[in-house]
Amino acid sequence: MTSFDQNQRLPSVMTPGDACTCDGAFLLDVRSFDEFAAGHAAPAVCIPLADLERRAGEIPSDRPVLVMCQSGGRSAMAAERLRALGMDNIADVTGGFAAWERAGLPTVKQSAVIPLERQVRIAAGLLVFGFSILGFTVHRAFFGLSAAVGFMLALTGTLGICPMMSFLKSLPWNRVSSAAAGK
């Protein structure tokens, strides 16, 4: 294992093999929770790029921080953002999780999980379909519920927030372990 102390300069980029041997390092995965749940480096903690500045306080300053994403693009942006916040113990893992996986390094994979965005489309489609059938067979008021689902989808697209996704994320098969999510 390679051990880094606070006085030692961390290289700005690091291969997955070197990252795996960096003793005591904090491995930060900046992909979305969906991507992370589908597969990630075994010791990684997920803080999505969109949440990076808000959750920067969760990133240790007393040890090396190795940043990765799927292929290296987002991790390079994250490393720059963290350096702009005054963190100088940051290294970008070149090639990201794809390179980590190709190198045969330890990974955690969750099998048979449908991505959340697809789950939202399935759930919304079933709700509209079900309410429409009920509108034809039970009572016309169910058409209003079908219209409400359509309105909520339009609002979600406009505002970028999705209550249905938040609900689906809380279901047991979609949960990322709290330790892995960095909470």
Higher pLDDT, 173 or 36: 36
CATH superfamily of 2-108: Rhodanese-like domain (3.40.250.10)
- Grade residue 41 by pLDDT with cuts at 50, 70 and 90: very high
pLDDT of 25 over the 50 cut? yes
Contact yes or no for 85/56 (Cβ under 8 A):
yes
Of the listed 20, 22, 46, 69, which one is catalytic? 69
CA nearest 100: which of 77, 67, 63?
67
Mean pLDDT to the nearest integer, 64-79? 94
Host H or E run for residue 120:
helix 116-137
- Catalytic residue status for 69: yes
Q: What is the pTM of this model?
A: 0.64
The more confidently predicted of residues 16 and 110 is 16
User: In this structure, how many other beta carbons lie within 10 angstroms of the beta carbon of residue 26?
Assistant: 21
Q: Confidence class of residue 142 from pLDDT cuts 50, 70 and 90?
A: very high
Contact 43, 14 (CB under 8 A): no
At residue 111 the predicted structure's pLDDT band, cuts being 50, 70 and 90, is low
